Amino acid sequence: MNLETDAQFTEYRAWVTGEPIVVQAIPLILMIFLENKISRHYILGSSHKLMTHALTVMLMANFIVAYQRPAAPEEMTKEYLEQQLEHAQLMALIGNVIWITVIGFCIASTVYFKIMLGKTWDNASVRCGFFIAKAAILTAGNVGPLLYFCMLLQWYNIALVINHRRDSIPGKSFPIQVFLAWFTMQQYFLRSNHRDRIDSVNYGKVCPGQIDCGMMMHWTLVFFEILAPYIIGLSLLPLIVKARVQHAYAHLKQHDESESPAQ
C-alpha cells in the first residue's frame, strides 16, 4: 500500500535525495567517525578500523567520479558516446576494485581472527558485516551512503540501549531484541525502495558502471541488492542478541566494562 504524503514534505524529500552532498558526501564522512566509535567500543582493533576506512575512501572516489559524468549535448555525437563509454568503464573498474577488496577483507578477517587468533564466529561475523555494508552502499546507488549509514547508526544505538539495561530475569527481554533486529532489517529493506512486487527490482542497475557484467554476476548482484539489509543485519546480530545473552548475569558478578560483546 502506498500512502500519499504532504506536498511540501515530498518536495523537501526530493531536494534531499537529489543533493549529492547530503546523501553521499556527509554520510560517508560521518561513517568514518561512526566506525572509529564502534571499533573503540567493541575493541575490534586498528586493523579493522583501517580496512573499513579504506573502503569508505574508495566509495568516496566512486561517487566523485560518478558526478563527473559527461554532460549530454543537445545533439547526440560520436565523441559524446565515446566519453560516456570511457566514464562507464572507469566506474566499472572502481566498482570491481571495491568488490574484490570487500571479498578479500572478509576472507582475510575470517582467516586471521577466527582461525589464527581463535576468536569466535560471532566476532568474525561482525567484522564481515561492516565490510558487506560497503558493498551494499555501492549497489544501492546514489542513496546508498545515507541509507546504510543510518542503518549502522541505528543498529549501534539499539545495541547500546539493550546492553545497558538489566533484566529482572536473565534473558527476559530476548523477544524485544529479536523484534528490534527484525524491525530494523525490514525498515531498511523498505527504505531502499523495495516493495513486495516485481517492478521494484533494480534490473540492469547493479553492475559496476552499469555495464553488462554477465547474467550470473548480474543476478547475483540483483539478489544481493535486495537482501543486503537482511545480510548486514544477520551479520551484525551478535552486537545485539549475543551481547545481551552474554551479559544477562552481569548484575550477579563483577564484570569488566571494557570487554567487547563482539568477542
pTM (global) more than 0.85: no
Q: Which amino acid is present at 20? A: P
In which residue are the cell numbers 524491525 written?
Answer: 183
Angle among Cα 226, 228, 229 to the nearest 5 degrees reads 105
What pLDDT is stored for residue 255 in this prediction?
47
Q: How far apart are CA 242 and CA 234, in angstroms?
A: 12
In sequence order, what are the residues at sequence separation of 6 or more whose Cβ sits closer than 8 angstroms to the Cβ of residue 84? 69, 70
What is the domain partition of the chain in residue ranges? 8-252
DSSP state of 64: H
Listed as ranges, residues in the chain with pLDDT below 50 are 1, 243-259
What pLDDT is stored for residue 91 in this prediction?
86
What pLDDT is stored for residue 243 in this prediction?
47
CB atoms under 10 Å from CB of 138, counted, come to 23
User: Using one digit for the tens of pLDDT, what is the confidence trace for 117-169?
Assistant: 988 888 899 999 999 999 999 988 888 888 999 999 999 998 888 777 666 56
Helix, strand, or coil (residue 152): helix
In sequence order, what are the residues at sequence separation of 6 or more whose Cβ sits closer than 8 angstroms to the Cβ of residue 189? 226, 229, 230
What pLDDT is stored for residue 18 in this prediction?
62
What pLDDT is stored for residue 260 in this prediction?
52
